[in-house]
């Protein structure tokens, strides 16, 4: 059992803290947002994540406590995980002021050897800065180490991603420090967690036990940025291919199957759509670009990845326009506002950005999202109507737009939806349905990188039924 402080109880900190408690460690979750703290202490779950309510119920008040007292939490812990936000600055750098403010509070509580762990996504050299800040505040050099332990969880499957990771990366510049991290993750790496009857169930293709990769801190910092940049590149690549497919009348789903079965490429993240979003990819690409430039390398490939992503939304808007002719005054049903399925997070959500553009074009919008309504309301206020289900959203709408790949959208009652709509037009930004089936149901159906179909114009080519992805 280790004593751990996790500073920042957002998507990453809360999940990490709850999972560490589930390993058997004693965890103090620290946050400076008093409202969030009070909610957590009162048994509320501030974010929508599968299995998180169960874990919080299991450990709240026993192995998992919540506190606003950073000094006391650091003093009581062997390892301090920094999981605060690192939002982008105007120039695209990561704003590390929250990380710095936590680092400044640590030295006064260093009464014995402790490891300070970067869990937040930070640019290379951050661990060196954290070390300098702690030393400048009168800490003894051998009283602490700084490690990098980047987090690869995906919102929507955050708990299972944390408990069943593809790999655990530990950046540590001393063996003593690496050993602390090895001990923390031992229940996963020695497989004992997975044998417990109360273990949270894992995904089908989980790697058990997961490998723990020890690197230098700089390499670990780079691994996180490079991983996100690579994944974003994969998304932009297939979106660019989808655009070519649209130009020549090919079917991107067939192309994906053809290239994704090459084991060197793999099928995951080859999901054409309206582009990536969320709190990570957009900001991490900018930060990686900025840090590379500072270090003397112009990473122009990343510019192109970001440009294609931006353009993808504009292409989709053009598609909506070409389907509806004029937009002013049109009533649209929007299914999905979260940046991806399974989460209530709307940060940098392409669905939300598109909705805002459509509002600016004079459309009237009624939206349904299974989890993101409250957060979207904080941004959109009364500019749009919110429905409690897809069918109410579709009532009297001139078209239905699918903007987020929620699992439940794969099982809609299309006959019922058709009856609600003014015109049976579906514009799918996530390629959730089989065009042929949609045409057979009486819809004019537009998707990404596949020919449009309508009941009068049968599809050019058939496409295999698609399973909902969750990558």
Ligand X SMILES: NC(=O)c1ccc[n+]([C@@H]2O[C@H](COP(=O)([O-])OP(=O)(O)OC[C@H]3O[C@@H](n4cnc5c(N)ncnc54)[C@H](O)[C@@H]3O)[C@@H](O)[C@H]2O)c1
Tell me the catalytic residues.
280
Give the C-alpha distances (Å, rounded to integers) separating 137 from 8, 99, 140, 141: 22, 15, 9, 11
List the structure tokens of 105.
């509070």
Considering beta carbons, is residue 8 or 451 the nearer one to ligand X? Answer: 8
Considering beta carbons, is residue 73 or 250 the nearer one to ligand X? Answer: 73
Contact between 435 and ligand X by CB under 6 A: the answer reads no
Considering beta carbons, is residue 46 or 449 the nearer one to ligand X? Answer: 46
Q: Which of 5, 7, 337, 425 binds ligand X (CB under 6 A)?
A: 7
Contact between 148 and ligand X by CB under 6 A: the answer reads no
In the bound complex, what is the minimum distance in angstroms from residue 10's beta carbon to ligand X?
2
As a dihedral over the C-alpha atoms of residue 345, residue 130, residue 290, residue 470, rounded to 10 degrees, the angle is -30
Question: Quick check: helix, strand or coil at residue 467?
Answer: coil
Q: Are 285 and 209 in contact (CB under 8 A)?
A: no
**447/402 Cα distance (integer angstroms):** 9
Neighbouring-strand partners of residue 30: 7, 67
Q: Which stretch binds ligand X (CB under 6 A): 29-37, 181-189, 250-258, 420-428?
A: 29-37
Neighbours of 87 (CB within 10 A): 14
In the bound complex, what is the minimum distance in angstroms from residue 462's beta carbon to ligand X?
37
In the bound complex, what is the minimum distance in angstroms from residue 379's beta carbon to ligand X?
15
- Give the strands of the sheet with 64-67, arranged side by side: 64-67, 26-30, 3-7, 79-82, 114-118, 144-148, 168-171, 212-215
> How many residues of this chain bind ligand X (CB under 6 A)?
27
In the bound complex, what is the minimum distance in angstroms from residue 246's beta carbon to ligand X?
31
**233/245 Cα distance (integer angstroms):** 18
Contact between 311 and ligand X by CB under 6 A: the answer reads no
Q: Are 373 and 358 in contact (CB under 8 A)?
A: no
Considering beta carbons, is residue 60 or 319 the nearer one to ligand X? Answer: 60
Considering beta carbons, is residue 288 or 445 the nearer one to ligand X? Answer: 288
**397/385 Cα distance (integer angstroms):** 12
Contact map string, positions 106 to 135, toward ligand X, x by CB under 6 A: --------------xx--------------
The rounded radius of gyration (Å) of the Cα atoms in the chain is 24
Q: Are 232 and 305 in contact (CB under 8 A)?
A: yes
Q: Which stretch binds ligand X (CB under 6 A): 149-157, 179-187, 207-215, 360-368?
A: 149-157
Q: Which of 32, 89, 420, 454 binds ligand X (CB under 6 A)?
A: 32
Per-position DSSP letters for 263-310, written without gaps between them: TTT-STT---SS---TTTHHHHHHHHHHHHHHTT---HHHHHHHHHHH
Q: Which of 77, 239, 279, 431 binds ligand X (CB under 6 A)?
A: 279
Contact between 8 and ligand X by CB under 6 A: the answer reads yes
In the bound complex, what is the minimum distance in angstroms from residue 94's beta carbon to ligand X?
7
Contact between 13 and ligand X by CB under 6 A: the answer reads yes
Contact between 10 and ligand X by CB under 6 A: the answer reads yes
Contact between 12 and ligand X by CB under 6 A: the answer reads yes
Q: Are 152 and 166 in contact (CB under 8 A)?
A: yes
Considering beta carbons, is residue 33 or 179 the nearer one to ligand X? Answer: 33
Q: Are 82 and 7 in contact (CB under 8 A)?
A: yes
Residues 44-83 close enough to bind ligand X by CB under 6 A: 70, 83
In the bound complex, what is the minimum distance in angstroms from residue 348's beta carbon to ligand X?
11
Tell the residue number behind the tokens 């299914």, with chain if given: 335
In the bound complex, what is the minimum distance in angstroms from residue 345's beta carbon to ligand X?
7
Q: Which stretch binds ligand X (CB under 6 A): 4-12, 189-197, 199-207, 406-414?
A: 4-12
**337/355 Cα distance (integer angstroms):** 8
Considering beta carbons, is residue 33 or 392 the nearer one to ligand X? Answer: 33
Contact between 30 and ligand X by CB under 6 A: the answer reads yes
Contact between 229 and ligand X by CB under 6 A: the answer reads no
| Residue ranges that bind ligand X, judged by CB under 6 A | 7-13, 30-33, 36, 70, 83-86, 98, 101-102, 120-121, 151, 153, 155, 279-280
């Amino acid at each position: 059992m280790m004593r751990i402080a996790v500073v920042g109880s957002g998507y990453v900190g809360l999940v990490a803290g709850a999972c560490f408690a589930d390993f058997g460690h004693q965890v103090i979750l620290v946050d400076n947002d008093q409202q969030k703290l009070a909610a957590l202490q009162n048994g509320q779950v501030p974010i929508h994540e599968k299995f998180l309510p169960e874990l919080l119920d299991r450990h709240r008040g026993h192995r998992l406590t919540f506190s606003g007292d950073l000094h006391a939490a650091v003093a009581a812990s062997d390892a301090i995980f920094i999981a605060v936000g690192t939002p982008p600055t105007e120039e695209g750098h990561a704003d590390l002021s929250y990380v710095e403010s936590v680092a400044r509070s640590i030295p006064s509580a260093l009464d014995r050897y402790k490891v300070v762990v970067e869990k937040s996504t930070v640019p290379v050299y951050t661990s060196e800065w954290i070390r300098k800040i702690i030393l400048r505040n009168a800490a003894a050099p051998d009283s602490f180490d700084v490690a990098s332990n980047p987090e690869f969880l995906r919102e929507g499957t955050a708990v299972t991603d944390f408990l069943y990771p593809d790999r655990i990366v530990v950046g540590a510049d001393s063996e003593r420090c690496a050993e602390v991290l090895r001990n923390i993750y031992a229940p996963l790496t020695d497989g004992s967690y997975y044998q417990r009857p109360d273990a949270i169930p894992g995904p089908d293709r989980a790697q058990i036990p997961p490998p723990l990769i020890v690197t230098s801190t700089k390499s670990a910092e780079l691994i996180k940025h490079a991983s996100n940049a690579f994944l974003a590149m994969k998304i932009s690549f297939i979106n660019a291919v989808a655009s070519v497919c649209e130009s020549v009348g090919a079917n991107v789903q067939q192309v994906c199957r053809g290239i994704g079965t090459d084991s060197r490429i793999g099928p995951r993240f080859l999901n054409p759509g309206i582009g990536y979003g969320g709190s990570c990819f957009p900001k991490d690409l900018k930060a990686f670009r900025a840090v590379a430039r500072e270090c003397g390398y112009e990473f122009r490939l990343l510019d192109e990845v970001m440009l294609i992503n931006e353009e993808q939304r504009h292409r989709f808007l053009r598609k909506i326009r070409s389907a509806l002719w004029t937009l002013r005054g049109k009533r649209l049903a929007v299914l999905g506002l979260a940046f991806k399925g399974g989460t209530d997070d709307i940060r940098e959500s392409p669905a939300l950005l598109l909705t805002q553009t459509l509002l600016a074009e004079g459309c009237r919008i009624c939206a349904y999202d299974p989890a993101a309504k409250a957060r979207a309301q904080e941004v959109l206020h009364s500019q749009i109507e919110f429905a409690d289900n897809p069918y109410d959203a579709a009532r009297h709408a001139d078209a239905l737009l699918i903007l987020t790949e929620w699992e439940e959208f794969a099982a809609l009652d299309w006959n019922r939806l058709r009856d609600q709509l003014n015109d049976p037009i579906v514009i799918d930004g996530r390629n959730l349905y089989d065009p042929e089936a949609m045409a057979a149901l009486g819809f004019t159906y537009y998707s990404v990188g596949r020919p449009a179909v309508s009941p009068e114009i049968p599809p050019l080519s058939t496409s295999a039924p698609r399973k909902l992805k969750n990558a």
